[in-house]
Structure 1
């Protein structure tokens, strides 16, 4: 008996595999190869990329790539290619409008929509009527948190019974805590090479955009440095994926940091392959996002690396970080005062950092691995 054929349609924003891809592409890069090939035949459809062939393979999964400058033409090309594959299921990643376009070409095929954020269900990208039609055309809608499930259900109540939560994961073999064999020595060398031997490193990893809240960290840095002269705030990221271009906001952040040069370091966007080392060399991770963060892969990456996480009590983050156990959750209404207090408490108490970091690693191993995500996906499919 033939196994179900599953077509994963990525947005066409970044190629797979690519060190410059966003979290949307990363989900498929890690999920699809983990599906049991005795039960499913996955195939990935994405955009072309420099140095990548038109047809390739990732973990044994076939990838077909198409030009994506014109998104309508991209979806048409993907649709034409999928006719040869004859998928049992088409899963559209984070682009509701693609569901409508593909439904017209595949009226009898099961189509799922997977949402990783609320960005592409907002009015800036899609009208409410088009969103309703898109969700109506989908057989199931996957979301990465209970918060996003509630958000979508409030926007389109008639789609509520189609929504299923599929938490995301992290590669626990790549993101390792410092007490793992070999990781401690690597951490020592990384910190020595970067001149961090006598510093307490507070790490922000992410895009430099207002909703990520980096300005709050820079606002509290003078008081934090006064109380803890060895603190170093390391800000890794740029406004855009795979680019070092500045924006008005990123330039504002750099102006805020001028008076605190000894205590802040900006590191432009780094390839995803290099991200684990930045977590390994740090002491504390901070995620001061504004309301609307659906999940935040950075939280599970930090926890997998044995770091305590100080994050906003918003969106799906509350489903990942356990307040007082794997880190601290801070209230947006009192963001800066609570950031200062919680980060300060962790700087003062290395034992607390170690205990919370170990609890975070354990929580990730139990709940947030890519293998668990794949198993949950397969169970959702087979449940019907």
Structure 2
């Protein structure tokens, strides 16, 4: 098959500036390209060529300002058997008109079919035009089929994945080495109990609630250290009012908080390896944050919120703990304190998570599921 995979207009592929969709496309495209022709379209970036082939994948990059028009020209000029469009259902009508004989597969990573995003007429036209819809979680699948029942037969959930070779649990030789080096660089001794947050510093991600939980945690575990990895937006270290607020809260507990601004995606796995516990404090109806896959691959116990699709990859008490009272600092403190006090439980959760990642969430499995979707479109 000759396959086009289309990213959104937000970030480039490969995922040099991060982004869940960009990582998803790059990782699955490289495996699919072993047996099919794959072209990935994304926006231009000053550090990437406009047109190149890398790891078997042909990349074409288009000006952000003219992205949709540029995609239309590309599809008019080249016939693809499959056009896989990410997260932009509103573009389907124009792209389908440009390549009417192609089968369109739409992957949905957020609540893109909600009333705030599109009218009923727009949604119905999109659903009629596509051959298949794949969603990153059952939560997203249900948000579509609830509003558009006729779409149900076209939708299937294809969970995202993680590069298992990039993440090294601390109990492995390589993981132990990385943990020692990273902690030395960060000035953290081995006795520190590191709680990791990775993600955008945004109110909907809930880092302020973790910071509010610190006094209760520090009383029981004076060796606890929160490490926040992220910035207000992918690759953007500018400080807005909310981030200033976080820094102010963190400055009240200098012995227990450190902020690491945006880091390259290739470096992210090292922060997981140096940590003891991972927390996803999402406050919004999260589609299913990819940090869960990363934490599992690194063999970290996970604490996450019962929001959106986050719980779909967590077997409560087996590879993580689910918090129902997601906006209560005390609940985070209670669960974090329990796990920090129980080394055996942390290791059990972490090892179960790594096994689950190896079984279900490697990129090979994602690529195979996407290929099945393409072939059945």
**Matched position secondary structure for 1:148:** helix
User: Can you list the C-alpha shifts for 1:118-138, whole angstroms capped at 9, x where unaligned?
Assistant: 2x4445543443233223322
Structure 2 contact 139–309 (Cα < 8 Å) conserved: yes
User: For 1:303 and 1:358, how far apart are their aligned partners in 2?
Assistant: 8
Partner of 1:151: 143
User: TM-score when scaled to structure 1?
Assistant: 0.94
Cα 1:254–1:223 shift into 2, 3 Å: same
Superposed CA offset, 1:290-343 (max 9, x none): 241111110110110010000002221111122101110000356433211111
How far apart, in 2, do the equivalents of 1:66 and 1:177 lie?
A: 38
TM-score (norm 2): 0.95
* 1:108 match: 101
Q: Indicate which of 351, 359, 380 corresponds to 2:344.
A: 351
Over 3 Å counting, the alpha-carbon distance change for 1:298 and 1:79 in structure 2 is same
- 8 A Cα contact 2:71 2:95, kept in partner: no
Matched residues in 2 for 1:58 and 1:126: separation? 36
Distance 2:70 2:326 in 1: 47
* Residue matched to 2:288: 295
SS at match of 2:209: helix
Moved more, 121-130 or 108-117: 121-130
Q: Does 1:50 align with 2:46?
A: yes
Does 2:13 match 1:16? yes
The residue that corresponds to 2:62 in the other structure is 66
The corresponding residue for 1:41 is: 37
SS at match of 1:32: helix
CA 1:153 to 1:335, structure 2 compared with 1: closer, same or farther past 3 Å? farther
Q: Distance between the aligned counterparts of 1:333 and 1:317, measured in 2?
A: 12
SS of equivalent residue, structure 2 residue 163: coil
Shift of 1:41: 1.7
Deviations 1:161-218 (A, max 9, x none): 2111101000000011112232212211211221211210000000011111111101
Inter-partner Cα distance in structure 1 for 2:125 and 2:283: 29
- Does the 8 Å CA contact 1:17/1:58 hold for their aligned counterparts? no
The aligned counterpart of 2:302 is: 309
Match of 1:25 among 9, 22, 25: 22
Q: Which moved more, 1:88-97 or 1:98-107?
A: 98-107
2:316 equivalent in structure 1: 323
- Which residue in the other structure is 1:135 paired with? 127
Residue 374 of structure 1 is matched in structure 2 by: 367
| Deviation for aligned residue 1:345 | 1.0
Q: Is the 1:200–1:232 contact (alpha carbons within 8 Å) kept by the matching residues of 2?
A: yes
**Separation (CA, whole Å) in 2 of partners of 1:292 and 1:128:** 22
**Alpha-carbon distance in structure 1 between the residues aligned to 2:271 and 2:3:** 35
Secondary structure of the 2:59 match is strand
Paired positions, count:
376
Name the SS of the counterpart of 1:91 in structure 2.
strand
